[in-house]
Amino acid sequence: MRRTAALRALIRETDVRPDDLIAPLFVKESIEEPVPISSMPGQVQHTLESLRKEAVEIAERGVRGFIIFAVPARKDAEGSEAWNPDGIAQQAIRALRGEFGDEAVVIGDLCLDEYTDHGHCGVLNERNEVDNDATLERYRRIAVAQAEAGVHLVGPSGMMDGQVAAIRDALDDTGWQDVGILAYAAKFASALYGPFREAAEGAPRFGDRTGYQEDPANLEEALREIRTDIAEGADVVMVKPALPYLDVIRRAKDETGFPMAAYHVSGEYAMVKAAAANGWLDERRVVLELLTSIRRAGADLILTYHAKDAADWLRG
């Protein structure tokens, strides 16, 4: 049953389809043309127009989900551009909704690190520590602003305690009951986010994020976080990164049966790109193998920077 490609396909247990993928896209305010991201070959910081064109090209390949990361021209201590109705994130959301209507899923990254001048995922207290509850109030504002701009889902990624419940209440209280929540439920304090921080210009100016992101050593704690987000009203829960945490994805899927996403992050993308550029790996085969492993572990959806190319390869 392994002798030919047709025989292998006949009994294949795990498939990856283009519509299993979500493409992360970056948009930056006050640039005239796309800016290449040096640590993520093939990815750029988009203008609004290039963002729209890229999304159309990706959608033509069968990918129907997009998550938007925005870089504003102005940053301040509380990240107020994140909930500005005319901010770059909201403009990007409106652009994609105007292009696709409901034919694609538009997701807004809901966090503060791209918007604060200190680069942390929340507002700071007098000790320069992230203030969890004060941050939740800002998350509520962002959720409503993104809903008004047209998102189908908001994606809270800051790992604040109670963030899903606060956002769900804010959306419901303002009449946006039909906007869903893709919760970064188990986001680990990983060393694989470096290229993303270049792309989103959101690296912390001091310290790190170990005080609020998950300890990579803790499986049971991650499962508790996932269950908590489900109880608070998440519609999809996500594990980030993907490949080092396939065991978390598998356990969470088995124990909850809940819609499960995994984020194949920038460092994972950059490693494959670097090896392929040196001729050490066959990029197509490696990417499809990695995406299959993430699906096999239990992920229903995969956020991946390989989405455009992978969709081509899957169709071919």
pLDDT of residue 201: 86
Q: Decide if 62 is inside a domain.
A: yes
pLDDT of residue 202: 81
| Side-chain-facing half-sphere of 207: CA atoms under 13 Å | 14
- Which pLDDT tens digit goes with each residue over 43-71? 999 999 999 999 999 999 999 999 999 99
Do 260 and 237 form a contact (C-beta atoms < 8 A)?
Answer: yes
Name the residue with tokens 């229903």: 300
Distance CA 192, CA 244 (A): 10
Do 121 and 160 form a contact (C-beta atoms < 8 A)?
Answer: yes
Do 89 and 82 form a contact (C-beta atoms < 8 A)?
Answer: yes
The DSSP output letter for 47 is P
Q: Decide if 83 is inside a domain.
A: yes
Q: Decide if 5 is inside a domain.
A: no
Say what the pTM is: 0.95
| Side-chain-facing half-sphere of 67: CA atoms under 13 Å | 26
Distance CA 236, CA 24 (A): 17
Do 61 and 311 form a contact (C-beta atoms < 8 A)?
Answer: yes
Whether 253 is catalytic is no
pLDDT of residue 212: 84
pLDDT of residue 106: 98
Residue 210 backbone phi and psi in degrees, to 5: -70, -20
Q: Decide if 4 is inside a domain.
A: no
- Sequence-distant (≥ 6) Cβ neighbours of residue 54 within 8 angstroms: 25, 46
Q: Decide if 209 is inside a domain.
A: yes
List, as own/partner pairs, every contact residues 243-246 make where C-beta atoms lie below 8 angstroms and the sequence separation is at least 24, other chains included: 243/268, 243/290, 243/293, 243/294, 244/188, 244/190, 244/192, 244/216, 245/186, 245/188, 245/216, 246/293, 246/294, 246/297
- Which pLDDT tens digit goes with each residue over 233-264? 999 999 999 999 999 999 999 999 999 999 99
Distance CA 211, CA 130 (A): 8
pLDDT 10s digit of each residue in the chain, 316 long?
Answer: 999 999 999 999 999 999 999 999 999 999 999 999 999 999 999 999 999 999 999 999 999 999 999 999 999 999 999 999 999 999 999 999 999 999 999 999 999 999 999 989 999 999 999 999 999 999 999 999 999 999 999 999 999 999 999 999 999 999 999 999 999 999 999 999 999 988 988 878 777 788 888 999 999 999 999 999 999 999 999 999 999 999 999 999 999 999 999 999 999 999 999 999 999 999 999 999 999 999 999 999 999 999 999 999 998 7
Do 44 and 34 form a contact (C-beta atoms < 8 A)?
Answer: yes
Distance CA 164, CA 212 (A): 15
Do 138 and 110 form a contact (C-beta atoms < 8 A)?
Answer: no
Q: What is the CATH number of the domain that holds 190?
A: 3.20.20.70
Whether 273 is catalytic is no
3-class secondary structure, 137: helix
Cis peptide leading into 241, omega within 30 of 0? yes
3-class secondary structure, 262: strand
pLDDT of residue 59: 98
Do 249 and 299 form a contact (C-beta atoms < 8 A)?
Answer: yes
Which residues span the domain enclosing 169? Answer: 14-315
Q: Which of 28, 75, 240, 253 is catalytic?
A: 240
- Looking at the structure of the chain, the number of domains it has is 1
Q: Which alpha helices (H) appear in the chain, and where do they start and end? A: 5-10, 48-60, 88-100, 132-149, 163-173, 194-200, 219-232, 246-256, 266-277, 283-297, 307-315
Q: Decide if 256 is inside a domain.
A: yes
* Percent share of the chain, pLDDT over 70: 100
Q: Decide if 98 is inside a domain.
A: yes
Q: Decide if 6 is inside a domain.
A: no
- Sequence-distant (≥ 6) Cβ neighbours of residue 228 within 8 angstroms: 164, 185
Q: Which of 187, 253, 273, 308 is catalytic?
A: 187
